[in-house]
Structure formats: C-alpha cells, structure tokens
Amino acid sequence: GAGVSQSPSNKVTEKGKDVELRCDPISGHTALYWYRQRLGQGLEFLIYFQGNSAPDKSGLPSDRFSAERTGESVSTLTIQRTQQEDSAVYLCASSLESRRLDFGPGTRLTVT
C-alpha cells in the first residue's frame, strides 16, 4: 500500500517568510510524528499526535513552530518568520498505535 508522503520535497524560502509543510500518513495509522534532521545530525523530535488526544508539543523549539492534524489524516507543520537555523530536513512518520514508525521521504527546507 501507499507509504507516508510529504510535500513539497524541497522548499527554498527567504528569511522572515512563513512556510507550511504537509504530511499524509499511512491510512489507518493513529499516531503521527514530526522530526527535524539538521545536516549530518541525528533526529530531533518536534511534535506527536495520537488519535484525538491533545498533541505532545514538547519538542517544538520556539513559538514560531506549530502543527495541526485533522482527525487521523493529514498534518501540516507551519514555521513562521523563518530563520537560517530552521534549515533542515523535516521528517514525518506515522504508526499504528504508537509502535513501529514508518517515515516519509522528508521535506528539505533551505532558508536563505
């Protein structure tokens, strides 16, 4: 079946602009995660959604970052007033009942 998809695959934006990244999880997966990976680094947790529960936002680095999820489907990650340190690959993963994670291909964000 279809895996996790993310769009856009690449995004170049000017410092100070807002960006919106999209994630389509695997159908039926109740949990959805956003991670960030800076060049040559490991994965940094951002936010976690599980069903209709309140999201765990403990990893969001600043109030410029926010995310939404509609039911158990699409999620969007929004970064306002982008800064150069926001440049990274943003990875989305989904799982069934918060167990085995399946990752999407990521969105590479470059802030100039």
Binding marks (x or -) toward other proteins, 3..42, rule CB under 8 A?
A: ----------------------------x-x-x-----xx
Helix (H) or strand (E) holding 46: strand 44-50
Q: Which stretch binds other proteins (CB under 8 A): 18-26, 63-71, 72-80, 103-111?
A: 103-111
Query: For residue 89, what are the β-bridge partners?
Result: 37, 108
Upper half-sphere CA count for residue 101 (Cβ side, 13 Å): 12
Label the pairing between strands 107-111 and 10-13. parallel
* Coil, helix or strand at residue 86: helix
Q: Closest approach of Cβ 106 to other proteins, in Å? A: 6
- Tell me which residues touch other proteins (CB under 8 A): 31, 33, 35, 41-43, 45, 48, 50, 56, 59, 89, 91, 93, 98-103, 105-106
